[in-house]
Amino acid sequence: MIHKIGVLTSGGDAPGMNCAIRAVVRAGLAYGLEVYGVNDGYRGLVDDDIFQMDRSSVSDIVNRGGTILQTARLREFKEESVRQIAVNNLRKRGIEALVVIGGDGSYMGAKKLTEMGINCVGLPGTIDNDIASTDFTIGFDTCLNTIVECVDKIRDTTESHQRCAVIEVMGNHCGDLALFSGIAEGAEMIITPDHPIPEEEIFASLKKLHDAKKKRAIVIVCEKIYPDIHAFADKIGKATGFECKAEVLGRVQRGGAPSASDRVLAARMGAYAVDCLLSGKGGICIGIVNNKIVDYDIYEALSLPRDKHISMLRLIDILK
Ligand code: F6P
């Protein structure tokens, strides 16, 4: 039976991380555990920036974006000697297990810590939805709604000026934010790593729209496909006749109050993570699959194909 657990957030922040922290803390306390917060992700473990949390530590945070524990990406955590410092810091406080809320980059650290004797459970906290072992990550829904809100605004002015808007959204190398927002917006074109479109085809389709006197065109593009989205928009302008403007939505996508859906997802996953630790599990990550909360071994999770929403790609072509 464990008595003390820790919780940290790692990688890019995501709306709903606070709800996940709250769920871990409140569930841990409900089961009589001592719960410790770690600031700054894995860096806080190494720097011994660890503090005890109580009920009030997580009051009034369900509606707050970001993460009250702060976050970081610590490359050095790949080194065993660095992880050993973290393990020593946890052991001296008697913390036996840890919940790591972050992207799949953070999962490997959680697995390695488990192999060094600290049972860890990973919760998928990232806007990118790029974790294969879960249908949805905490933060994705909020981010998607933020994108849709922004694109709604951009399309107003795009139509008034009869322009083409090329809108770059986040997602790292995962096209889900582009795919879902593109479908939600009825975008004329959606370009993702799983749905690349040759430049000539892009130009020809948009020129056809322009020649047919279409008032505006919305193109949603996943980040990291075009090294210079502004140069790409200029090329579209020259090739199609549309006046074309590039918009990079940037980090506005990561902020804001979490959606109800993300709050509930985070609550379910956070409580489940504590259940797993109490039953002695470690080296696992939590997911939601067909609306059921599940857990996977982290190595298995990291080897799964990232094709969970691939069937939606057909919508791009049949709804355009
Ligand atoms: O992983 C989340 C994410 O927002 C990605 O979509 C994006 O590529 C990256 O983080 C940006 O990170 P940073 O804010 O550290 O530059």
- Tens-digit pLDDT profile for residues 171-186: 999 999 999 999 999 9
pLDDT at 320 over 90: no
CB-based pocket (< 6 A), ligand 1? 12, 103, 126-128, 170-172, 223, 251, 254
Nearest atom in ligand 1 to 130's CA:
1
Reported confidence tier of residue 46, pLDDT bands at 50, 70, 90: very high
Query: For residue range 185-216, what is the model confidence (pLDDT) as tens digits?
Result: 999 999 999 999 999 999 999 999 999 999 99
- Judge if pTM exceeds 0.85: yes
Structure confidence at residue 136 (pLDDT):
98
Q: Over pLDDT 70: what percentage of the chain?
A: 100
How far does the centroid of ligand 1 lie from the alpha carbon of residue 75, in Å? 15
Chain-wide mean pLDDT for the chain? Answer: 97
Query: For residue range 248-283, what is the model confidence (pLDDT) as tens digits?
Result: 999 999 999 999 999 999 999 999 999 999 999 999
Q: Whose CA is nearest to atom 7 of ligand 1?
A: 172
Nearest atom in ligand 1 to 103's CA:
1
How far does the centroid of ligand 1 lie from the alpha carbon of residue 55, in Å? 31
Q: Give residue for tokens 């065109």.
A: 217
Reported confidence tier of residue 310, pLDDT bands at 50, 70, 90: confident
Phi, psi of 98, deg, nearest 5: -145, 140
Catalytic residue status for 128: yes
Q: Which of 9, 70, 71, 127 to mutate to test the pocket of ligand 1 (most atoms within 8 A of CB)?
A: 127
State both tokens at 267. Answer: 């609550």
Residue tagged active-site, from 104, 128, 130, 295: 128
Nearest atom in ligand 1 to 171's CA:
6
Reported confidence tier of residue 306, pLDDT bands at 50, 70, 90: confident
